[in-house]
Amino acid sequence: MLKVENIVKKYGDVTAVDHLSFEVDKGEIFGLLGENGAGKTTTFRIIMGLLDATEGKVTLDGKKIDYNVTDKIGFVTEERSLMGKMTVEEQIIFYGALKGMSEEKSLRELDYWLEKFQIQDYKKRKIKELSKGNQQKIQFIQAVMNHPKLLILDEPFTGLDPINVELLKEAIYDLQKEGASIIFSSHQMEHIETFCEKLVILVKGHPILEGYVKDIKKAYRKKNILIEGIKDTKKLEKIEGVLSVTKNQNTYEVKIADEKVTDEVFKTIRNDKITKFVVEEPSLNEIFIAKVGEKNEH
Ligand code: ATP
């Protein structure tokens, strides 16, 4: 298990990470979310042991992360560590050797992953001849070829088209099944929402939302009701607990303060010719915006 305990990182006057704690269990996919400059890369560098925290500590299975455990960590960073003049095969053999793998074993892993990513034809091509997205896949292969315990992915989906995002997600699920702890960063909320069950959202280095996505959504009591077929929205606006009613094409979106208000909304419109009535959880993005607003008001 990866345990990050109350880490703080200061660069002079700038606090890049401000009292951040979280745990990533075996077989868990954890999302670190934040805008540019929120402190994601700094957090990763501290976890990888490349940077010392000003305060706090990081352990993997109870041990401090140092050179003894770094070969059990795979990472894909934003600065791509590929050597353009080498072929894909040469690069993987080179990195395999650094990880103590035989040439045969490295090539077996390479063939497996090239097939999975549907790029078998690139094996003997020079890295610099590959598209950015395909270079990203090679970097991923390099990070996972020795089946690391902990996999760190800094913005893994950036620059990939939707088909390749799905291929990469599937590959990450495979590693999750093997029991790896996976932590990845993103500034795109939708990737986190659909992909990981646990997350932390950083604003200026400080965690403002953390935990299991389902618990975060449950704790945030507001819900949205989508309705089609209502005639008069005024009567809805009068109900206590209805926060807003907005129209989007044929659908009305009614925001309510609490799930309990649903019954009252339904009673009020049940004589209309309703064709749709769906109670939805708010999106993570909506919760995030509300939380950031709250923080700024204090
Ligand atoms: P991005 O999404 O843009 O990669 P990030 O969330 O990874 O951003 P960091 O790179 O960790 O953010 O930066 C966090 C804060 O720390 C920023 O304000 C940044 O300017 C500052 N920072 C990062 N590295 C240094 C450094 N070496 N010296 C001084 N300040 C730094």
pLDDT digits (tens, 9 = 90+) for 63-88: 888 777 777 899 887 666 667 788 99
Mean pLDDT, the chain, integer: 89
CA of 256 to the centre of ligand 1 (A): 38
Q: Reply yes or no on whether the pLDDT at 297 is more than 60.
A: no
Q: Residue 259 has what pLDDT?
A: 87
Residue 81, CA distances (Å) to 76, 91, 114, 140 in order: 8, 10, 18, 11
Give the model confidence (pLDDT) of 160-196 as tens digits. Answer: 888 888 999 999 999 999 999 999 998 877 777 878 8
Nearest CA to ligand 1 atom 15: 16
Q: Residue 36 has what pLDDT?
A: 85
CA of 247 to the centre of ligand 1 (A): 40
Q: Which residue has the higher pLDDT, 45 or 232?
A: 45
CATH architecture observed for domain 2-213: 3-Layer(aba) Sandwich (3.40)
Q: Residue 79 has what pLDDT?
A: 65
Nearest CA to ligand 1 atom 18: 37
Distance CA 52, CA 54 (A): 6
What does the domain layout of the chain look like in residue ranges?
Answer: 2-213, 221-280
Burial state string for 79-105 with b = 16 or more CB within 10 A and e = fewer than 16: eeebeeeebbbebbbebbeeeebeeee
Give the model confidence (pLDDT) of 227-246 as tens digits. Answer: 998 877 888 999 999 999 99
CB atoms within 10 A of CB 282: 17
Q: Domain 221-280 classified CATH 3.40.50?
A: no
* Residue 2 Cβ contacting ligand 1 at under 6 Å: no
Q: Which residue has the higher pLDDT, 208 or 83?
A: 208
Nearest CA to ligand 1 atom 25: 11
Nearest to 156 by CA among 127, 187, 178: 187
pTM of the model: 0.83
